Amino acid sequence: MNESRNVQRGRPSKPIQNPGMIAKSVILFLQRFMNETLAKRIVGIILVALGMTYDQVAELTGLSKRSVCAIKSAINNGDIDSLFIVTHGGGRTGKAKGFEEAIVEELEKNNYHTRQQIADMIQEKFGISMSVSAVGKLLKKTASGG
């Protein structure tokens, strides 16, 4: 009797067997119209709104638990618009930003043999303390023109 009543009301009589497969299919469908991250977030928003736990949403969508927590927080704060903006990392700017051309000019004028010598020169002339590995990244970046 209860089963037929549930069918009449449009409710499934059995729980969905494989919700992960359905979530992945919806994400793949949405990727036809938007990038993967945004598709996962939209499915994540729906699952969080339905009351699923962080672990369940993370497992079904492939989002990290931290991303799911951010989604829940945005929903609670009413800031859902921010979830539809996809950014690329929040890295900080380099120490030598703005001095790169001057550093390259100095390197061309003088003869430096090691990265440590270059790091020391940058400290003396520009007042910027850089590690040897940061100098290597700077050299690689300036050599590629990027």
pLDDT at 140 over 60: yes
Look up the pTM and report it.
0.52
Contact between 132 and 119 (Cβ < 8 Å): yes
**Which is nearest to 95 in space by CA: 124, 122, 125?**
122
**pLDDT for 95:** 74
Q: What are the extents of the domains in the chain?
A: 15-84, 100-143
- Give the dihedral sign, CA 77/81/85/90: negative
**pLDDT value at position 23?**
84
Give the pLDDT band of residue 2 (cuts 50, 70, 90).
Answer: low
Angle, helices 132-143/100-109, rounded to nearest 10 degrees: 90
Q: pLDDT at position 65, please?
A: 92
Q: Is the pLDDT of residue 86 over 70?
A: yes
3-state secondary structure of 21: helix
pLDDT tens per residue across span 30-54: 889 988 889 999 999 989 888 889 8
Whether 5 shows a pLDDT value over 70: the answer reads: no
Average pLDDT across the chain, whole number: 82
139 vs 19, higher pLDDT: 139
What are the tens digits of pLDDT across the range 49-77? Answer: 888 898 999 999 999 999 999 999 998 99
